[in-house]
Amino acid sequence: MLYESLPGHKRGIFFFIAVCVVFMQAGIWAGRRRTQDNFPDDSLVPTSKVLPFVKSDNRPSIKDHPIPKLMQDAENKFRHLLSHQSSTLKEAVAEYKRRYKRDPPPGFDDWWRFAEDNDVLMRDDYNAIVEDLAPFWELSPEELRKRAALAGHLPSIDLVRVRNGKSRAVNIKDGPESPELPNIDFPVNSMAEGRILVPWEHRLFPNLTEGSIKAHLSGVYPPDWRGQGTVWEAYRRTCNPNEPARRLYSSFRASTSQRRNSRLVAASDEFSFSDGNTGNYSFCQNPWAHINQGHFFSDWRTIPVLFPVFSPAKASGYLDIRIPSHYYYAQTRRYTYGWDPVNLELKKVDHMETPWESKSDKIFWRGASTGGGSSPPGFSNQYQRHRFVRMASDESYNNRTIIFADPPSSTNYVHAHVPTVYLNDDIMDVAFVKVVDSSNYPGGIGALISDHRFDDGGVNLGDHWKHKYLVDIDGMGYSGRFFSFLESDSAVMKATVYREFFEPWIQPWLHYIPLSASYQEIYNIHAFFSGASSSTLQIANATALSVSPSKRRSVDGDRRLRRIARAGKQWKRTIGRRVDMEGE
């Protein structure tokens, strides 16, 4: 075994990494198929070089649309990733050493055998694990074990204890036996929000004494903030002292140049498309942007000590260790595609699945009015879900500039200025279905209901499958519906600031459509894939008005949209399977 050859003082760290590999197996023990099987049968139409949007007489125009190139580049990246995986244990060990400048963790040969037996897809890419564990290399094995045990005393931290190969959740129930696991404690975050925010200065001195750690635990951490601080105040202390977020005034208010730039970004967002890398957005450099993300207003207290806490997701700046979410692993009617709650079985095709040709072209979202906490109160109108629902139900006559192909499926792109009220009526089906924390909304429940569309009827998970476009947006934390949306054979449009365990293995613009935090580009995304809306065609007096309504849809765009839907489904069934999240 590789472990036996390690120096004694390193074995504790490698033990910890080995068990992290077990916890992170949803991304590592993924279902392997032939490379070509992870793509839909049809190939993308070759595209010429995409030129940026240009302006003529202050009117936006376009040479070539950016989306085809984004899709082509995404497919090329993912093909390259799949085709450069090791095929033997010897190759995998050599590649691990080359990339990470150290030996693989103990049990790597056992894992390889499991990978072979279960047709693993990704065999060489451990960047998420390496990144998450990097801060802990400064700790001795003894210190690491001690902190893991102490973290179990924190509010909303559960402890999974492994002794003699048998795991159990402390004070809950026994778990399965696994002789490969060492004796160790796993502190697991029971909340959706990230927890570990270590001040920048403290990262320079990670080896705190046991006395100082216990001092942090002695009554300092009630379950919530209780007016004794905020997530944002804790977060900005993780930033470098030279960054704007550490300067008290600028952390609350944007400078003149920042406000000017934010207006320019908002104006150009209609014509800019996200690369999906929003999880690495720097709030340290752009502190004024924090009011638009609810996780900075969580009620749950963060932890300023480097504890090895496992969490299902984290925003940039947090030091939690990512593991698969129980929402993805469990099988429930609210979060699982194909789950039959009557017969308690998982079906390959959900009983409410709708054929692509019968799906609605409208952009669909339903959810509760969550999005953050109430510490401090009064900011919930800026939370991500509230902003999206207000935008999608806006009845104003403010114009949006829509770029579309005329005639449909051609490369002749034109533009029109269309009132928002017409666009929303044509293409949006977005609403809250449940009032949550209305007392925190400025103006109370009356203002909340007045400012947003509410659908009193509610929806089941299966009702989503009737639509080609499904929007996935963060709530109190990461969204637990993402995997079910991917499997539904609908195209997922996702906006998030969270980073999850599968981040290195999923490709934006191939498996899903990434959205910026402003969502402003969503109208032009729809116009590319589904063609101009009826109001847009009327205002532009487009040539498509001369053909029947059934021929006004962009055939090429619809095919591309379906390709994303099919690729997302294939990814879920080869990399995001339930079995990929299980250990042996």
Q: Are 92 and 124 in contact (CB under 8 A)?
A: yes
pLDDT greater at residue 472 or residue 176: 472
- CB neighbourhood size of 581 (10 A): 21
DSSP 482: H
Distances (CA, A) of 420 to 383, 409, 461: 21, 24, 28
Distances (CA, A) of 462 to 365, 478, 480: 13, 20, 15
- Return the pLDDT at 212: 60
Nearest by Cα to 363 from 264, 491, 271: 491
The H-or-E segment that residue 400 falls in is strand 399-405
This prediction's pTM: 0.86
Which of the residue ranges 55-69, 458-472, 542-556 would you say has the lowest mean pLDDT? 55-69
Question: Percentage of the chain surpassing pLDDT 90?
Answer: 56
What's the number of CA atoms in the CB half-sphere (13 Å) around residue 159?
19
Residue 334 domain-assigned (yes or no): no
Residue 123 domain-assigned (yes or no): no
Q: Are 135 and 203 in contact (CB under 8 A)?
A: yes
- Domain of residue 444 covers 38-80+350-581
pLDDT at 109 over 90: yes
- Return the pLDDT at 526: 97
According to DSSP, the residues that pair with 300 across neighbouring strands are: 224
Residues in the chain: 584
- Return the pLDDT at 512: 98
Interval 112-133 mean pLDDT: 88
- Return the pLDDT at 258: 45
Residue 203 domain-assigned (yes or no): no
Residue 532 domain-assigned (yes or no): yes
Categorize the per-residue pLDDT at 361 as very low, low, confident or very high, splitting at 50, 70 and 90: very high
Categorize the per-residue pLDDT at 224 as very low, low, confident or very high, splitting at 50, 70 and 90: confident
Distances (CA, A) of 474 to 64, 142, 186, 496: 32, 37, 26, 6
Categorize the per-residue pLDDT at 546 as very low, low, confident or very high, splitting at 50, 70 and 90: confident
In this predicted model, what pLDDT tens digit does every residue of 129-150 receive, in sequence order?
899 999 999 888 888 988 898 8
Neighbour order of strands in the sheet with 173-177? 173-177, 166-169, 157-163, 184-189, 310-311, 321-322
Residue 178 domain-assigned (yes or no): no
- CB neighbourhood size of 259 (10 A): 12
Residue 204 domain-assigned (yes or no): no
Number of domains in the chain: 1
Residue 60 domain-assigned (yes or no): yes
> What is the DSSP secondary-structure string of 235-301?
HHTTS-TTSGGGSHHHHHS--HHHHHHHHHHHHHGGG----S-GGG--TTT-GGGGGG-GGGG-SBP
Residue 387 domain-assigned (yes or no): yes
Categorize the per-residue pLDDT at 219 as very low, low, confident or very high, splitting at 50, 70 and 90: low
Distant-in-sequence, close-in-space partners of 102: CB < 8 Å, separation ≥ 6: none
- Return the pLDDT at 296: 94
Q: Are 306 and 206 in contact (CB under 8 A)?
A: yes
